[in-house]
Structure 1
């Protein structure tokens, strides 16, 4: 797809979900998309697993046979998105009506195969409402492995859009050197860095990524307070065990979102300790300018010494060889949709 807009406004949505309430969180997403678009945003990014919330209680809930932990996992599954699905269709419709590209972090429930696995995913939706693709976090970090499965290479794609070549990674994927390089090698121009929250260390990773990729980075994290967790939530107190993220008293996730230029400097933000939409200008001409000195996959690379092989084929739990069953891969166009790279 040819780039038709080289200068435009991007938005990082730093907000709290409606905790573990799928329908209400989607309602809020639609309203925030409308607000950002009304303020001129053409590319709108939401934080990691924003729908229906980042489950930081896991750091205080390591007991696998704990009754409350099981209950909360059931609640998370019941309020997670399926791809495709009716809730995602509402977000796609909002993107089309707002004429804005949306990248949103979700808890994705896999209903077609295992029926019991969740993924930490980011979904790409075009400004016409087309589902471009889904990226599942390759390696859930630390205690996250209790609830999320590992993604595969089928989501490591950069998408050709009218707003440039857009891609993204989730949280600690920004410290996986080969994963970063796989994105750089696809000519990424605008990168979405999703986090649960964005303290100084995450700023460092996001700014370093921008400098290394020579791309714009929309760095986005959630804002969440203990007051926004319902009193009856079974692991409410365990949320406090997630650690001190540098927020004010009662703030579980303080945000820290902003937009970074291809030289590693802030275009706007960062902003913390409030619900806010952070806006900034994307100027794709700056990407070409910054590549004068450095191009990680181009003239500042030694392909005669180093080569990276990426297996971007979707991985399935079973492949049925008989005609009666067909192949699992033949019935899953979503995981094969990343053909734009």
Structure 2
């Protein structure tokens, strides 16, 4: 048994120092509740640059620049302080952060153990849509899982969790506890044209990841605070009909797809906490092991090879010929 927590909270938006102070408080609070692994949302530090979805790229450049200057490095003082908090409170931490590497910024995750050591770091493989105006791409080798005292732990950011190939790679590595980091779902609330940017759609992805992989999924995400709305909308009152305070939807799912935590109101901060039993995975894998008895690598290889060429060469005819 291990007690885990998904953070639902608002960062001090585009403020690395302020968000760091809040991070340390949350870590202490989680440890005080007996949590052994606490997970933060996508680019929790210094916050998700929502403005890029609301304004043209050059109009949103002020926010992009604030995001850049508040990005942190793996070996910088902010990460050192988080590592020290993990060591002092004897807790594991999965941190979502904007990572600076020379002149580029990446959407990253780091897993810190209870001795204050970084045991995993990775970057989002493919930023989604407007995110490509802010972040670079991570390497293919950043499909990673690490051994911990409470099982094999890995993580993906936001719509990385949708990609079938990403999922299969994590399942093949024997992942038992997955951290699906998400931003707030405070944009386009109630709008049909929002496509799949809703809390319902993305929590369904977290749930299906757990069911498909026969693993536990911790799904932390952020909250948009009332105080940050003016900065996010850059003072444009019309955008208040597109982005709203709240958007929290943190949850934890079991390997049978069952939700293990009660919803926290979407405007409130808190920890979604569950005690998980890895023995449940054995029961799930009896029925479907996506990396073993329920996996057909020959079919996967056939499909990928048939559609691996340039777009104009991809066709159903190719797959039929291969078959």
TM-score computed with the length of structure 2 as normaliser: 0.84
3-state SS of paired residue (1:273): coil
Number of equivalenced pairs: 288
Unpaired runs of at least 5, structure 2: 186-198, 303-323
Cα pair 1:57 1:241 within 8 Å, conserved? no
Please name the residue that 1:94 is paired with: 85
Please name the residue that 2:256 is paired with: 263
Unpaired runs of at least 5, structure 1: 1-6, 309-341
Counterpart CA distance in 1 for 2:57 and 2:19 is 28
Please name the residue that 2:194 is paired with: none
Counterpart check, 1:288 vs 2:282: yes
Please name the residue that 2:39 is paired with: 45
Please name the residue that 1:205 is paired with: 205
Counterpart CA distance in 2 for 1:14 and 1:143 is 24
Cα pair 1:62 1:143 within 8 Å, conserved? no
Deviation at 1:219, TM superposition (A): 1.0
Counterpart CA distance in 2 for 1:140 and 1:195 is 13
Q: Residues 202-253 of structure 1, C-alpha deviation per residue, up to 9 Å, x if partnerless?
A: 1110100000110000011111123235x5x4853469749857xxxx41x4
Cα pair 1:106 1:121 within 8 Å, conserved? yes
Please name the residue that 1:165 is paired with: 152
Please name the residue that 2:312 is paired with: none
- If asked which structure has higher relative contact order (CA below 8 Å, sep 6+), I would say 1
Counterpart CA distance in 2 for 1:254 and 1:201 is 13
1:239–1:259 Cα change, 3 Å: farther
Please name the residue that 2:112 is paired with: 125
Counterpart CA distance in 2 for 1:243 and 1:174 is 28
Higher strand share: 1
Counterpart CA distance in 2 for 1:119 and 1:161 is 25
Q: For 1:206-285, what aligned pairs fall within 5 Å after superposition?
A: 206-229=206-229, 233=231, 235-237=233-235, 241=239, 244=242, 250-251=244-245, 253-271=246-264, 272-285=266-279
Please name the residue that 1:62 is paired with: 56
Higher helix share: 2
Please name the residue that 2:63 is paired with: 72
Counterpart CA distance in 1 for 2:20 and 2:237 is 22
1:278–1:70 Cα change, 3 Å: same
Cα pair 1:102 1:126 within 8 Å, conserved? yes
Counterpart CA distance in 2 for 1:240 and 1:80 is 29
Q: Residues 87-143 of structure 1, C-alpha deviation per residue, up to 9 Å, x if partnerless?
A: 1000011111111111011111112xxx2x111111111111111122211111111
Cα pair 1:57 1:238 within 8 Å, conserved? no
Cα pair 2:152 2:175 within 8 Å, conserved? yes
TM-score computed with the length of structure 1 as normaliser: 0.80
3-state SS of paired residue (2:107): strand
Cα pair 1:217 1:259 within 8 Å, conserved? yes
3-state SS of paired residue (1:48): coil
Counterpart CA distance in 2 for 1:145 and 1:72 is 14
3-state SS of paired residue (1:145): helix
1:237–1:143 Cα change, 3 Å: farther
1:291–1:242 Cα change, 3 Å: farther
1:89–1:239 Cα change, 3 Å: farther
What is the aligned-residue RMSD (CA, Å)?
2.0
Deviation at 1:174, TM superposition (A): 1.4
Cα pair 2:51 2:63 within 8 Å, conserved? no
